[in-house]
């Protein structure tokens, strides 16, 4: 198990290198001069050249890249062109907002998704099942930003129950709309997957065994079927958490949420390459780490994966 974890952590390195290389090349192709960007219009050619030399962007791309990688592994993500601040501090400032939002969304996803999935599996073909099927289909089809705006208009503008956007004082009211929007598609997927894995689990022979032992329906479903049915769902939720934590660009933009997704979005608009690359690197890193955590939970849930070697039969 330890070996497994170490191996997985080492696997992060080539992925990070690949991602940064790709982004570097893409950003290098964009014919924009960062020095121009920083000094604005009307700067003298000498001043521009000076700045370029100071920033090191007059060097060939591989030199720049090497310097970046060296910085990266010592924990330095560079300096923002736009704000003249270290990317680390910019991301550190915005990340907590994204993470809080991601957790709010995941909680919605877990509670509503799993619950709806179980209900529709247990009450197969009932009105509840039909309701879950229809609403999940709609949620999957609707674009996120559209849903976000509809919610803003309905609950924020018309009914005035909830704030339309922003982080406000950070109270729970501000979280509801963006979290619901962010969770919508994943909740639908979780509900659907939960329904099918639950149905699959319930059709197994060990369920009959469990009933034959005299266990209650609650215990049969809640213990025997649940643990089996959860295995694929946990994977889905874990991967989701990984991608949500990277900041949800659309949702954060629509709701003007001060998270890292919106920061990256703004950085793209402003051609602020260090912020884009730095943000993406962290995003990828988190995604991979979440993946690893999912794999560990997975191994805990399913003992058949836990042991790579199966003991000989006696």
Measured from the CB atom, the residue of 46 and 205 that comes closer to another protein is 205
205 near another protein (CB under 8 A): yes
From 188-196, 238-246, 274-282, 306-314, give the range in contact with another protein by CB under 8 A.
Answer: 306-314
Residue with smaller CB distance to another protein, 144 or 207: 207
Q: Which is nearer to another protein, 33 or 302 (CB)?
A: 302
Residue carrying structure tokens 């949500």:
244
Task: Tell the smallest beta-carbon distance from residue 132 to another protein (Å).
Answer: 19
Identified binder of another protein from the candidate list 228, 253, 263, 280, rule CB under 8 A: 228
195 vs 224 by CB, closer to another protein = 224
Cα 96 from Cα 94, distance rounded (Å): 6
Q: Is 213 in the site for another protein (CB under 8 A)?
A: yes
Report, in Å, the least distance between residue 292 CB and another protein.
Answer: 21
Among 192, 195, 224, 262, binds another protein (CB under 8 A): 224
Q: By CB under 8 A, which span of 73-81, 85-93, 163-171, 201-209 interacts with another protein?
A: 201-209
Per CB under 8 A, does 308 bind another protein?
no
In whole angstroms, how close is the CB of 4 to another protein at the nearest point?
A: 18
Give the interface segment with another protein, choosing from 146-154, 205-213, 232-240, 274-282 (CB under 8 A). Answer: 205-213
> Per rule CB under 8 A, is residue 298 in the interface with another protein?
no
Residue with Cβ nearer another protein (11 or 217):
217
- The torsion angle over the Cα atoms of residues 18, 24, 29 and 33, rounded to 10 degrees, is 180
Q: Which residue number, 11 or 204, has a Cβ lying nearer to another protein?
A: 204
Residue 216 sits in the site that holds another protein (CB under 8 A) = yes
Q: Print burial letters for 274-309: b (CB count within 10 Å at least 16), e (below 16).
A: bbbbbbbbbbbbbbbebbbebbbbbbebeeeeeeee
From the list 78-86, 166-174, 227-235, 261-269, the region that binds another protein by CB under 8 A is 227-235
In angstroms, how far is CA 210 from the centroid of its own chain?
38
Number of chain residues interacting with another protein (CB under 8 A): 26
Is 313 a binder of another protein (CB under 8 A)? yes
Contacts to another protein by CB under 8 A: 204-206, 208-217, 224, 227-228, 231, 301-304, 307, 310-311, 313-314
């Amino acid at each position: 198990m330890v070996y497994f974890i170490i191996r997985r952590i080492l696997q992060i390195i080539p992925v990070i290198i690949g991602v940064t290389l790709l982004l570097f090349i893409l950003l290098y192709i964009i014919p924009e001069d960062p020095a121009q960007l920083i000094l604005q219009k009307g700067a003298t050619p000498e001043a521009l050249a000076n700045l370029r030399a100071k920033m090191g962007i007059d060097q060939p791309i591989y030199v720049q890249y090497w310097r970046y990688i060296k910085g990266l592994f010592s924990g330095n993500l560079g300096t923002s062109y736009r704000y003249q601040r270290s990317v680390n501090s910019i991301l550190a400032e915005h990340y907590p907002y994204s993470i809080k939002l991601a957790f709010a969304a995941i909680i919605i996803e877990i509670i509503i998704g799993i619950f709806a999935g179980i209900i529709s599996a247990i009450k197969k073909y009932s009105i509840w099942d039909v309701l879950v099927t229809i609403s999940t289909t709609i949620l999957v089809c609707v674009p996120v930003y559209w849903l976000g705006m509809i919610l803003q208009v309905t609950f924020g503008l018309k009914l005035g129950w909830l704030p339309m956007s922003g982080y406000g004082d950070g109270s729970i009211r501000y979280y509801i709309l963006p979290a619901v929007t962010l969770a919508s598609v994943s909740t639908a997927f979780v509900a659907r997957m939960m329904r099918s894995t639950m149905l699959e689990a319930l059709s197994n022979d060990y369920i009959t065994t469990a009933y034959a032992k005299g266990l209650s329906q609650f215990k049969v479903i809640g213990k025997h079927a649940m643990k089996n049915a959860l295995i694929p769902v946990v994977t889905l939720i874990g991967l989701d958490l990984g991608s949500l934590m990277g900041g949800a660009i659309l949702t954060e933009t629509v709701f003007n949420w001060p998270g890292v997704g919106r920061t990256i979005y703004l950085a793209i608009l402003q051609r602020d390459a260090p912020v884009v690359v730095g943000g993406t690197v962290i995003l990828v890193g988190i995604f991979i780490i979440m993946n690893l955590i999912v794999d560990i939970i997975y191994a805990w849930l399913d003992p058949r994966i836990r042991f790579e070697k199966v003991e000989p039969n006696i």
